[in-house]
Every structure is written in C-alpha cells, then in structure tokens.
Amino acid sequence: MTHSRGFYYSKREKEGFYNMAKKEDVRARSYFKLEQIDTKFNLVKDEIQIIDLGCAPGGWLQYIDKKVKSAKVIGIDLLEIKKKGEFSKNITIIEDNFENIEEYKFGQFDLVLSDMAPEFCGDSIVDRGRTHKLNLKTLDFCKKHLKYGGNLVFKSFEGEDLDYVREEAKKMFQEVREYKPKSSQKKSAEVFEICLFRVN
C-alpha cells in the first residue's frame, strides 16, 4: 500500500466510513470493504465473470462497476436494488434467491462474492450459527457455479462453527485467508474469508 493510499484510508477511518459513503456518493459503507479487500488481493478484474450474492443495496456492484470496463457482472438478491439505471451495461441485477441462479443459465463464474447475512434475531449465538449455515450454502453454490481456478470472498462472523466452515473451504481452495477491512466496525465480529484458486 502506498503512503498516499494509507493516509487516505486513515483519514476515512477518522471521519467514519458511514459519513465517507455519504460524502463520496457511494451506496453503502460496504463499498469500502470490497475496495480494501480488492486492494490487498486484486480479485476484481476485466474479462472475467463475477457474481455478487446478496448484492443489495449495491455497494459492491458500484465498486466493481467503477473498476472494470469489460467484465460480466451479475448481482442477485431477494431485495430490490434501487436506481438500477446508475449501473453500466456490464451489470445485470436479478431479484431472486441465489440458489435459483441455475435457471438463468449464466454458466460458471470466475469470482463469487458474498456479503450476505441472514435475518438476525438479536441472539449472538443463534445469529452466528445462521451465518455459518449460510456460509456453507455459499460453498455449496461454488461447487456448481465457480470455475476451477476461481476465487471466492464471503462474509462471516467469529464463532465456534467458523473453524468448521474454514475447513470445508480448505477442501475446495488452494489457500484460505482471513481478512478484516478497516471499514468493518472495530467491535464487530465480522470477518471475510478469502478463498483463492479453486482446486476441488
């Protein structure tokens, strides 16, 4: 990371990423999470096919759309994405359950991104358990829809079941790394699993 970029992130952190999202006219603070993940791991590239699972409100799609010129990008969510017209022709948005993606016949993807979280009830143990089950569904999705050699990023939360999720990911990928963007709230148990180069 360059000095100027490091200074920029430090400035953002002090001002608050929520306020920065408003100031920089991005859809959500999640925009900065993917930006920081991609700065470190360089996953979002031209000439690949990308799917964003649980894409509402569109922060990750906005980052991708800004960075790439020729990738094919699918965003899918049960929730409505507002102001779809702001996206370029590279972005296709579908209102549906991600488990129904096969019906749309997009073929396999080079990069699967997931910022999904289940509906929370307020009980941290239950909520983390639901999150980890959703993580496993994301891995199952990749078994069918991610190309060999492809990459996966998914959000999770620290908890006793996360070790099991990681072990399942390690069966599929050459390398699995954990990353917490600066734009994640410091007190949050949120982490991102970076799964590199599918081999199985």
pLDDT of amino acid 88: 97
* pTM assigned to the model: 0.89
Strands (E), 12-145: 49-53, 72-77, 91-95, 109-114
Better-predicted residue by pLDDT, 116 or 8: 116
Active site residues: 155
In tens, the pLDDT along 11-49 reads 545 446 555 555 566 888 899 999 999 999 999 999 999
Classified as helix, coil or strand, 38 is helix
Q: How far is CA 75 from the centre of its chain?
A: 11
In tens, the pLDDT along 69-99 reads 999 999 999 999 999 999 999 999 999 999 9
The angle, 0 to 180 degrees and rounded to 10, between the axes of the packed helices 59-67 and 30-41 is 40
Q: Enumerate domains of the chain plus CATH numbers.
A: 3-198 (3.40.50.150)
